[in-house]
Amino acid sequence: MLDLFGRSPALIAPGVVLLTAFSDVAVLKSQIEAVSLLAPFRHMTTPGGRPMGAAMTNCGPLGWVGDRNGYRYEATDPLTGRPWPEMPSAFMTLARRAAETAGFGNFKPDACLINRYAVGVGMGMHRDVDELDREAPIVSVSLGLTARFVIRIEGKLQKIELNEGDVLVFGGPAREAEHGVRPVRHREDSQPTDFRFNLTLRKAR
């Protein structure tokens, strides 16, 4: 299937599809700012008490949280005690269109984790297994600085460069694949205030 701009999705591995320059960057960035005003970015912690490198926030009916009690989804923001901000329609529309383009129809995410990576920050290898619904794919949207995403498929690491506006979809046989993000590198024209933002949209329940 072609996207709205006539580009074909790139099949990286069974269940892993890259959609290049697939999103409206300006709109998404403005919505991230609006969400963060209601639910500020913060560094969640591992069960062992270590702060995570990427700053995080959420929007949608459910939000992913991590602390000494473990990793889970919660309907309220532990920082504010209020429900997470409503998921912007632009996020939902993009996620559903990307999933369908990648071959995963009827995707209805109920959680959007927003990660903010400073230069030098990455994310270790992990598997997304906190969701009760693992039939639905994961839709990952990249904004800002370029990132190197790695995913282990059949014992081999696949390395994918993700630029601003790219969307990576993985599901089916790759839904529970181990994956991570290499430390974000400084770009020659980047400023100290530049970040890599990542929207991770999931069906948690």
**Mean per-residue pLDDT, 121-139:** 95
Are 151 and 16 contacting, i.e. CB atoms less than 8 angstroms apart? yes
H or E stretch covering 57 = strand 55-59
Nearest to 17 by CA among 27, 25, 26, 8: 8
Q: Are strands 138-144 and 167-170 parallel, antiparallel or unpaired?
A: antiparallel
Give tens-digit pLDDT for 73-116. 999 999 999 999 999 999 999 999 999 999 999 999 999 999 99
DSSP at 78: T
DSSP at 89: H
Give tens-digit pLDDT for 166-205. 999 999 999 999 999 999 988 777 666 699 999 999 999 9
Are 3 and 19 contacting, i.e. CB atoms less than 8 angstroms apart? yes
Phi/psi at 28 (nearest 5 deg)? Answer: -65, -40
- Whether the pLDDT of residue 146 is over 80: the answer is yes
Q: What is the pLDDT of residue 192?
A: 63
**Mean per-residue pLDDT, 10-23:** 96
3-state secondary structure (DSSP) of residue 204: coil
H or E stretch covering 96 = helix 89-101
Q: What is the pLDDT of residue 191?
A: 67
Contacts 24+ apart (CB under 8 A), 93-96: 94/22, 94/23, 94/24, 94/28, 94/139, 94/141, 94/167, 95/139, 95/141, 95/201
Q: What is the pLDDT of residue 4?
A: 44
H or E stretch covering 1 = none
Nearest to 192 by CA among 142, 145, 146, 143: 145
> Using DSSP, how many helices (H) and how many strands (E) does the chain show?
2, 13
